Amino acid sequence: MSDDLARMADDTTVDPVVPVRDRCMELARRWRVSVAESFETESSLIAYGQRDTRPVVLKVVKKSGDEWKSAEVVRAFGGRGMVRVYESVDGAALYERVSPGTELVELVRQGRDEQATVILADVITAMSPDVAPAWCPTVTDWGRGFDWYCSLGDAQIPIELVSRASEMYAKLCATQGATRLLHGDLQHYNVLEDLERGWITIDPKGVVGEVEYELGAALRNPVEMPEVFANASTIEKRVGTLSSRLGLDGDRVLRWAFAQAVLSAIWHVEDGYVIDATNAPLKLAREIDRMLGSRT
């Protein structure tokens, strides 16, 4: 391995002129991985292969962002309810391969949303983290997106909805109970079935907050099925099941879900997407806003 490639693999900032596939190949050699196939997503290169006789996944992130240090978050859970990590550097990691890797979203597509919700609760119960990495953001940090959007002068998201969500989010942050390291993006596409380990989660973002916060991502998914997740009956059932099985405050779960749904729409704007009435998080936000309004 050349000195330049060694530096590239260890630095926290990767030279953008170095192709991601070159970095993947170098890390595969270093970590003794025989790559069988690979593909690219918008944010990463994923390679499937083996180390010795063990099936593994090598993931290389294309640029610095919320996935850059995700291996440190995975390691903090020590394999409890989450995929295991074998090797890592900033921006890349070698994980166990989940087999068959069926996504939890498949159950919802089959009309088995209640079963999928119970599985989500079981996965959260299994996820027992150690101390969060020192760099890990808090839910308060993530809430800065509200101020950013308000200063933008954008009109894609109704400002009155943003104002209610921002105020509610701030109150929830200030009144949290016990906090811990959370996955941060725990939803149906990030929970996979393994023949040996059962249902486990992948691709954490890592954020520190109360467990009630963790449920927001699941409540606005599967993103392709707003007719399911933005339905008042489904919302009530999901919040009831998750809250009772996890011993959480259902009202806080619902309020976090509303505020996070608006924040998720704001993040879509930040990422350059056009927001309109068909935006999935906004559909959930409007429905929960209506539900909360009927309770007052």
In tens, the pLDDT along 3-21 reads 332 323 333 344 444 699 9
Model pTM? 0.91
Is the CB of residue 123 less than 8 Å from the CB of residue 214? no
What digits encode the pLDDT tens for the residues 67-101?
A: 999 999 999 999 999 999 999 999 999 999 999 99
Is residue 261 pLDDT above 70, yes or no? yes
State the pLDDT at residue 223. Answer: 96
Is residue 265 pLDDT above 50, yes or no? yes
- Structure token digits, residue 106: 């498949």
> How far apart, in whole angstroms, are the C-alpha atoms of residue 206 and residue 76?
10
Is the CB of residue 190 less than 8 Å from the CB of residue 202? yes
> How far apart, in whole angstroms, are the C-alpha atoms of residue 46 and residue 57?
7
- Structure token digits, residue 165: 């969500």
Query: What distance lies between CA 295 and its chain's CA centroid?
Result: 30
**Longest Cα separation, the chain:** 66
Task: State which H helix or E strand residue 46 sits in.
Answer: strand 44-51
State the pLDDT at residue 10. Answer: 37
Q: What percent of the chain has pLDDT over 70?
A: 94
User: Considering the domain 3-97 in this protein, what is its CATH number?
Assistant: 3.30.200.20
Amino acid at 110: Q
- CATH domain 101-295 topology: Aminoglycoside 3'-phosphotransferase; Chain: A, domain 2 (3.90.1200)
Is the CB of residue 218 less than 8 Å from the CB of residue 273? no
Q: Where in the chain is the domain with CATH 3.90.1200.10?
A: 101-295
State the pLDDT at residue 65. Answer: 87
State the pLDDT at residue 14. Answer: 46
Q: Where in the chain is the domain with CATH 3.30.200.20?
A: 3-97
Query: What distance lies between CA 197 and its chain's CA centroid?
Result: 20
SS3 category, 177: coil
Average pLDDT score, the chain: 93
What digits encode the pLDDT tens for the residues 103-156?
A: 999 999 999 999 999 999 999 999 999 999 999 999 999 999 999 999 999 999
